[in-house]
Amino acid sequence: MNTWAQFWAVDLHVHTPASRDVDKAKYGGSTASEVVQAAINAGLDCIAVTDHNTADWCEQVARAAAQSMLVVLPGVEISTSEGHLLAIWEEGTSAAVVEDLLIKLGIERSDHGKLDVSATAGFAEAAKQVVVSHGLAIAAHVDRPRGLFKLPVATHVNKLLRDENLSAVELVEVETLDKVKNKLGDKRTLACLHGSDCTLPNGSTHVLAGIGSRRSWIKASRPDFVGIRHALEDPALRIRLEEPGPHSHATIDSVTVKGGFLDRQPIYLSPDLNCLLGGTGAGKSLVLEAVRFAVGQEVDAGAFPAIAKDIASRMQHALVDGSVVQLDATVGGEHYVIERKYFEGAAAKPAVYQVIDGQRLKLDRDPTELLKISAFSQGEILEYSRQPVGRMSLVDVGLDLTELASSEEDATEQLRQLGEELLVQRKKAAQLREGAGKTDELAERTRELATFFDTDLVKQQQGWQTEASRITKPRQALPLPDSIKVSIPTSQLSAVLEGNQDVFAEVSAVVEELRTAANKLVSDVHVAITDADGKLAAIEAKWTTRREAFTAALDAELANKGASLVTLRRQLATLQGQLAESLQQKKELEETAEPRLKQLYQDRDGLLEQLRKVRDERRGLRRKRADELNKKTAGIVKLDVPAQANTTAFRHSLDMIKVGSRVRDPVLDAIAKHVHPFRFARALLAGDVAAIANEDKGIDAGSVARLLSNIDERDLWGVLLDAQICSMPDQLAIQFKRPEDGHYVSIEELAHGQKCTAVLVVLLADGVCPVVVDQPEDALHAPWIEDYLVDRLRDLRGNRQYVFATRSPGIVVGGDAEQLITMRATAGRGEVEATGSLERHDLNKLALYHLEGGANAFRRRSGKLSVSMLAVSAPSSGSVGGVVSESPEEPADIQR
């Protein structure tokens, strides 16, 4: 049986034939065994035998249930002049104890079992005597005849309800709940229960079939007297009048480390609040880190290097090479096992299995997809509270941003690739522009020299020069053979199930066939390129031979007319070649380079717009999510995702750009704050200094001009393009409501512990994945643990699983943990001392020791601090025992 607290069905008002008003002919049974079987058939886990003014059948019903799981508590329904009172005791309590109490209350032994005989003591006195005899007193069917609410004086009813000896009230109608609350006001919280009274719905006769017709559900590790008493102390969390449904959230059911400090010490967890207690070095943190390790969700070493290094050191000390962490989990009603091996300095990939009918089936799944957890190691909460970007994960945990992240990654990668081509084209266009700019000058000089020769000769030579700039281009444009590649996916595939091996073998064969064909094609292309290169080289050589023959013949002819003409011809040929190249560059610039460059700019602007939309859509989802969380944090915090993203990466890029420019840091700070990277890069690419300069914002034109000049001189255009698409993460702004004045202040203005409290409030506000936190109280603002964290834990109970390693009494006791796990270290090995709910004596004692330092320490603190308690209990402000009371209205709350 599980050791943690869970809900049990109980009926604390059961009559047997021992009640003399029972019509034995109509009751439906005549033996204790029939009573027990009726309770079991009704699905009850516990009953209290409460006959009218007698305990005659208590022991025999208990004996009849001895071999079953049904808990039977001895009890009695006491008739008083003011109403009926249920009294129940611990299992095994002798009937004589009950009978002695009845006699003490004025009900003689001869009248035991009679309904119409009342105690001489009043309701309050009867309740007091029940408590004195170590029982629990519960007002019976307050909204029916012989119930408290039938008394004529309302103020007297209210007084009886507030009597400290009364532990609960029994209702017949659910609507009576509000009436009880109204009568109690803020003076007391009193548990309300359903009990069958052994009657059928709308009936008033005690019958066997009525057992369990009205029932309550109490949360305890076992539905016994101690468990019930503990539940009555905290009815908000431990009492239900309607059957609680099964939990639907994912849970970590157990974690076991095979090898090392916690070798084969299984840690079983409840689906609700779990608290690991123990001294330093007992292994509490190791359990939590083992959970994170198993599912591959360890501390982000890039974001928190110091914390990651410390945890790695502790894991290395606590584990041995080959240690295996096994995590059992329930997700969507299915049972899974996740295993991961540990090796010093490395770790194996987690293995995921689904358990079906006790058999493991290995799955090809990432555990982070199967079981997402919200985990915080020691110090990590504090780091999240410090980082507006890092704390965004508190919002993202409830969003699926996978598609947007993929779109952003795709757009960014396309922009990088396009940026590389853009820079090449910019440089090429600049070179072409420079060459094309010489056309007019070269044409004029060519015309001057051409006057010394006849027109036909000039034209022929110009033709050869023009052809010279064309004949080599095809060969230059040939790709390198090694650049031709085809990527084929791997053919090494295997089936999970034996019967499917043939199918995967066929897949591998097809892929291998494709690979062979592709390799042949690549080889054929390599041969074709080499062949083409040889043929083009031969053609170029043929053309060169013809040109050389023309030149030789021409020079021979000109030499007969004068040696100077040969020199002039050669100068003319050089100019004609330069002019041909310049004209070709001008043509290429106008027809190819500039249109391509313009297209690249347009494509880049389109991708930038796409990137902007993705980021805006993500910010919109986060803002919507923040609004949802604001409604769930009970006004304790206010979240916002401002339009101004984090500019750290952009500012770093500006530092890279400014080196050597003598631009001051305040100007760079102003640019990062007021100029978006998209606009900044566009303006500098266009050389538009005025588009960025803004004297009012601290951005002077001279500094921008120096940045532009520095980029050009040092060829930092690639850095500029990277800066344009640098990471611009959203930030989560958190405002916290101060308890002292109700005003909201930014988390940045809070002390570290207060920041952490705000972060945890957000963490607990929403979500269904398991929460794993290591000693949150180390970073929390102590006065706020009870006011904020504990209250949130109580309000959100049942929606997700919580696992805390903690020393905080507030979390354990105030939060009312379902499962306590106390740990200790002995002989260099960690072990579990005990597990269970707080109402169990052994767990209670260990919790007192671990949380408070033991009974003596707790008594000393209570004794000394009671002076302050007395001070606030004073009727008006003043000094009591040297302590000034500032809040005279607190006594009722503190006494409660």
Average pLDDT for residues 283-301, to the nearest whole number? 91
pLDDT at 692 over 90: yes
Q: How many CB atoms lie within 10 A of CB 85?
A: 27
Q: Which residues of 122-147 are buried (b: 16+ CB within 10 A; e: fewer)?
A: bbbbbbbbbbeeebbbbbbbbbbebb
Could you give the CA distance from residue 644 to residue 626 in angstroms, rounded to a whole number?
16
Average pLDDT for residues 652-659, to the nearest whole number? 94
* Burial label, 114 (beta-carbon count in 10 A; 0-12, 13-18, 19+): middle
**Better pLDDT: 383 or 291:** 291
pLDDT at 890 over 60: no
Average pLDDT for residues 358-364, to the nearest whole number? 92
Could you give the CA distance from residue 760 to residue 755 in angstroms, rounded to a whole number?
9
Residue 665: enclosing H or E segment and its boundaries?
A: helix 665-674
pLDDT at 845 over 50: yes
Q: What is the pLDDT of residue 869?
A: 61
- Cα–Cα distances (Å) from 412 to 328, 419, 609, 643, 822, in that order, read 39, 10, 11, 20, 50
pLDDT at 887 over 90: no
Q: What is the pLDDT of residue 26?
A: 92
- 250 contacts 397 by C-beta, under 8 angstroms: no
- 361 contacts 335 by C-beta, under 8 angstroms: no
Among 92-96, 306-310, 484-488, 500-504, the minimum mean pLDDT is found in 484-488
Distance, CA of 861 to chain centre: 38
**CA angle at 883 for the pair 880 and 889, rounded to the nearest 5°:** 75
> Identity (one letter) of the amino acid at 503?
V
Q: What is the pLDDT of residue 878?
A: 37
Q: Which one, of 392, 536, 408, lies nearest residue 478 by Cα?
A: 536
**Secondary structure, 3-state, 25-75:** HHHCCCCHHHHHHHHHHCCCCEEEECCECCCCCHHHHHHHCCCCCCEEEEE
Q: What is the pLDDT of residue 93?
A: 96
DSSP 716-759: -HHHHHHHHT-------EEEEE-TTT--EEEGGGS-HHHHHHHH
Q: Which residues pair with 276 in a beta bridge?
A: 805, 821
**Better pLDDT: 861 or 25:** 25
The reported pTM is: 0.73
Residue 422 structure tokens: 């853009």
pLDDT at 671 over 90: yes
Helices (H) and strands (E) in the chain, counts: 33, 27
Could you give the CA distance from residue 176 to residue 140 in angstroms, rounded to a whole number?
13
Could you give the CA distance from residue 453 to residue 456 in angstroms, rounded to a whole number?
8
Average pLDDT for residues 558-568, to the nearest whole number? 75
Q: What is the pLDDT of residue 199?
A: 94
Residue holding tokens 């105030």?
Answer: 814
Q: Write out pLDDT tens, residues 802-820.
A: 999 988 888 899 899 999 9
Could you give the CA distance from residue 314 to residue 309 in angstroms, rounded to a whole number?
9
**pLDDT band, residue 742 (cuts 50/70/90):** confident
Q: Which one, of 253, 284, 256, lies nearest residue 270 by Cα?
A: 253
Question: 739: number of CA atoms within 13 Å, CB side?
Answer: 10
- 818 contacts 797 by C-beta, under 8 angstroms: no
Q: What is the pLDDT of residue 561?
A: 67
Question: 664: number of CA atoms within 13 Å, CB side?
Answer: 8
Q: What is the pLDDT of residue 894?
A: 27
Q: Write out pLDDT tens, residues 61-81.
A: 999 999 999 999 999 999 999
Average pLDDT for residues 774-802, to the nearest whole number? 80
pLDDT at 689 over 50: yes
